[in-house]
C-alpha cells in the first residue's frame, strides 16, 4: 500500500509525533509498504508524490531530520498561511491511506479528520466527532457522567469568571488542575493546599482559559487500549518519582510500565469495562487509549481518552499489543486495516 504518514505539526507534542511517525514509517516499510513521512504543517515543496512512493531507497530518518530542520521557524511560518504544508495534500491524495502520527491540537482534535473526510481521503483513527469530544476534557466528563462511566468528581473553572476557593468549590484539596484541551500533562498540577491551588490555576491559565479541577485520586494508574472495539490488556504506569507528568511520560527509565498489569481477573475486567464504556460514550472508533486510575478501595475512574495515542515502538499501546503477541509493524498495519474497514466515519 502507498501510505502517507503525517507527523510534526504545531502542537506541544510536535517532537513526540515526529518520533511516532518515524517509527510507524519504518515499520510499515519493513512490512513491504511504500510509506512516506511528511510534516503536516511544514510539508515539502520539492516532493513529487508519485516519484517518492516509487522510490526504493527512501530513508525515513532523513525525512525526520528534514522535518526537525523546521523546528525553530514554526512561529514565523504560522503567521503566513493556512495549516496544511506544501505538498501534503498532494501526497495524501496519491496515497491509499493516511496514517495520522499526530498528537494534540490540530491533529488529534478532529479538525484534520474533518478536512480529510471532506476530501474523501481515508485516514487512521477516530472520526472528527469522537476526536473532538475526547480532546475536550470538560465535554468528556459530561458525557462520562451521563453515560455512567466512572470518572473523578470535578468542576470547570473559567478565567473570566469568579473563582471560588478550594474549600468553596465542591472539590476541595487535594485536587488536580488541568487545561481542558491539553495533553501530555502540560499545565497539569496537583494542589494539596489553597496556596498550591492558586498557583495551579495561574499555571493552568498560562495554557488555556478553561481548566478542569478534579478530586485527586490517590492510588494506581493504568491505561487501556481499544482497537476496533476489542479491549487490549491493561498496562500499569508507575512513575518512580511524582506523578505521570511530561518528564515521566517521555524520559526513558523514569516510569515502570507493567503489561499485563498485576490485577485480579475481576479488577482487570472492571477496568476494561470502564474503558469500553468511555469508548462508547465518546463515540470513538478504530482505536484509542483510555487513561484510568484506581483508588485504595479499588474504585476505578476514567480520566480521559487519547484518540491518537503515542506510537513509538515502546509507547503504551504497542506494549499492550505486544502482550497479545502483536508486534509493532503488525499493529501499525492493523490500525490501518480497522480504520479503513468502517467506511465513512462519524
291 vs 167: CA distance, rounded Å: 27
306: annotated active-site residue: yes
Q: Is 185 one of the binding residues for ligand ADP (CB under 6 A)?
A: yes
20: annotated active-site residue: no
First vs last C-alpha separation in the chain: 25
29: annotated active-site residue: no
x/- mask, ligand ADP, residues 44-83, rule CB under 6 A, reads ----------------------------------------
What grid cell was written down for 100?
Answer: 495520522
Residues in the chain: 346
257: annotated active-site residue: no
Of 184, 223, 286, 339, the active-site residue reads 184
For 94, residues 6+ apart whose C-beta sits below 8 A from its C-beta are: 2, 4, 49, 50, 53
13: annotated active-site residue: yes
Q: Are 10 and 74 in contact (CB under 8 A)?
A: yes
Partner that binds at residue 182, options Mg ion, ligand ADP, none, CB closer than 5 to 8 Å by kind: ligand ADP
Query: 108 or 291: whose CB is closer to Mg ion?
Result: 291
Q: By three-state DSSP, how is residue 186 classified?
A: coil
Q: At its nearest, how many Å lie between ligand ADP and the CB of residue 185?
A: 4
Query: 184 or 339: whose CB is closer to Mg ion?
Result: 184
Q: At its nearest, how many Å lie between Mg ion and the CB of residue 303?
A: 6
Stretch that binds Mg ion, among 6-14, 22-30, 291-299, 324-332 (CB under 5 A): 291-299
Partner that binds at residue 9, options ligand ADP, Mg ion, none, CB closer than 5 to 8 Å by kind: none
Position among 221, 285, 291, 320 found at the interface with Mg ion (CB under 5 A): 291
331 vs 84: CA distance, rounded Å: 27
- What are the distances in angstroms from CA 154 to CA 110, 142, 298? 25, 10, 19
What grid cell was written down for 82?
Answer: 493556512
Position among 39, 90, 109, 221 found at the interface with ligand ADP (CB under 6 A): 221
Q: By three-state DSSP, how is residue 92 classified?
A: helix
What grid cell was written down for 83?
Answer: 495549516
Q: Is 291 one of the binding residues for ligand ADP (CB under 6 A)?
A: yes
Query: 48 or 295: whose CB is closer to ligand ADP?
Result: 295
168: annotated active-site residue: no
Cis peptide before 174 (omega within 30 of 0): yes
Backbone torsions φ then ψ of 69, nearest 5 degrees: -65, -15
Letter string b/e over residues 310-326, b meaning 16 or more CB atoms within 10 A of that residue's CB: bbbbebbbbbbbbbeeb
Using Cβ positions, the residue closest to Mg ion within the complex turns out to be 291
30 pairs with which residues across the strands? none
Q: Is 197 one of the binding residues for ligand ADP (CB under 6 A)?
A: no
Position among 36, 89, 176, 271 found at the interface with ligand ADP (CB under 6 A): 176
Residues that bind ligand ADP (CB under 6 A): 152, 176, 178, 182-185, 188, 214-217, 221, 243-244, 291, 293, 303-304
Q: Which residues bind Mg ion (CB under 5 A)?
A: 291
- Catalytically annotated residues: 13, 184, 250, 289, 291, 304, 306, 310
Amino acid at each position: 500500500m502507498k501510505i502517507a504518514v503525517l507527523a510534526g505539526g504545531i502542537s506541544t507534542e510536535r517532537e513526540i509525533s515526529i518520533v511516532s511517525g518515524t517509527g510507524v514509517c519504518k515499520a510499515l516499510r519493513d512490512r513491504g509498504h511504500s510509506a512516506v513521512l511528511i510534516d503536516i504543517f511544514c510539508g515539502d515543496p520539492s516532493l513529487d508524490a508519485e516519484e517518492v512512493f516509487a522510490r526504493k531507497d527512501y530513508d525515513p530518518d532523513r525525512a525526520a531530520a528534514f522535518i526537525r530542520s523546521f523546528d525553530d521557524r514554526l512561529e514565523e511560518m504560522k503567521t503566513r498561511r493556512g495549516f496544511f504544508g506544501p505538498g501534503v495534500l498532494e501526497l495524501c491524495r496519491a496515497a491509499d491511506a493516511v496514517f495520522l502520527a499526530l498528537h494534540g491540537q490540530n491533529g488529534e482534535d478532529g479538525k484534520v479528520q474533518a478536512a480529510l473526510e471532506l476530501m474523501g481521503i481515508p485516514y487512521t483513527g477516530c472520526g472528527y466527532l469522537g476526536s473532538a469530544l475526547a480532546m475536550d476534557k470538560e465535554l468528556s466528563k459530561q458525557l462520562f457522567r451521563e453515560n455512567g462511566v466512572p470518572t473523578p468528581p470535578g468542576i470547570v473553572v473559567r478565567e473570566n469568571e469568579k473563582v471560588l476557593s478550594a474549600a468553596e468549590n465542591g472539590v476541595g484539596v487535594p485536587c488536580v488542575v488541568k487545561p481542558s484541551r491539553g495533553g501530555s500533562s502540560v499545565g497539569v498540577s496537583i494542589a494539596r493546599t489553597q496556596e498550591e491551588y492558586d498557583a495551579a490555576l495561574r499555571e493552568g491559565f498560562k495554557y488555556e482559559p478553561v481548566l478542569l479541577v478534579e478530586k485527586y485520586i490517590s492510588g494506581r494508574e493504568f491505561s487501556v487500549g481499544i482497537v476496533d472495539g476489542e479491549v487490549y490488556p491493561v498496562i500499569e504506569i508507575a512513575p518512580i518519582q511524582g506523578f505521570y507528568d511530561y518528564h515521566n511520560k517521555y524520559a526513558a527509565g523514569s516510569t515502570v510500565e507493567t503489561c499485563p498489569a498485576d490485577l485480579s481477573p475481576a479488577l482487570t475486567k472492571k477496568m476494561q469495562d470502564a474503558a469500553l464504556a468511555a469508548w462508547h460514550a465518546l463515540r470513538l472508533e478504530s482505536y484509542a487509549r483510555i487513561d484510568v486510575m484506581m483508588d485504595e478501595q479499588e474504585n476505578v475512574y476514567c480520566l480521559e481518552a487519547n484518540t491518537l495515542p503515542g506510537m513509538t515502538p515502546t509507547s503504551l499501546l504497542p506494549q499492550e499489543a505486544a502482550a497479545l503477541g502483536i508486534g509493532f509493524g503488525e499493529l501499525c498495519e492493523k490500525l490501518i486495516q480497522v480504520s479503513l474497514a468502517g467506511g465513512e466515519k462519524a
